[in-house]
Amino acid sequence: MRIEELETAMGEVSLLKLLRSFGGRRLYVPLNMHADHHIACVIGTDAAMALADLVQGEYVDLPTLARFDRMEKRNRIVGLRKKGKSLDLIAWECKCSRRYVMQVCRDSREEIEREIPGPKMRQLELPIFAGAR
């Protein structure tokens, strides 16, 4: 199960509460959630019911809140790069170093190149220098 599915079902605020309290653990979510359950006490009954409907009596491995924040930042960096933003602008908007932006973009190069707008830039090979290799 992906974290985005949990966020869609529960809402961002409830997901953050869940990760703050249970992040880094394997959590059993009962099929029949009730208002007295420890999950419902932390995130609220409505969000707990939505979680139970999604997970349906299974275990869910939750990331830590810090790891979730890193995943969100990485997704934001990749999204901005796909829109054609410069490395410096992305670093400024995401409040991180230019080097970190370069690492994330290098790790996600194939995904970014599939969707980046505009022409693909290639090195120009002039006929004068073609035989000078």
Q: How far apart are CA 34 and CA 12, in angstroms?
A: 21
> Which of 27, 42, 63 is the C-terminal boundary of a domain?
63
Q: Are 40 and 82 contained in the same domain? A: no
pLDDT for 132 beyond 80: no
Q: Are 8 and 58 contained in the same domain? A: yes
**pLDDT tens-place string over residues 58-103:** 999 998 888 888 988 999 999 999 998 999 999 999 999 999 999 9
Q: How many domains does the chain have?
A: 2
Burial (Cβ within 10 Å: 0-12, 13-18, ≥19) of residue 105: buried
Residue 30 in domain: yes
Residue 131 in domain: no
Q: Are 10 and 53 contained in the same domain? A: yes
Tell me, yes or no, if the pTM score tops 0.95. Answer: no
pLDDT range class, residue 43, cuts 50, 70, 90: very high
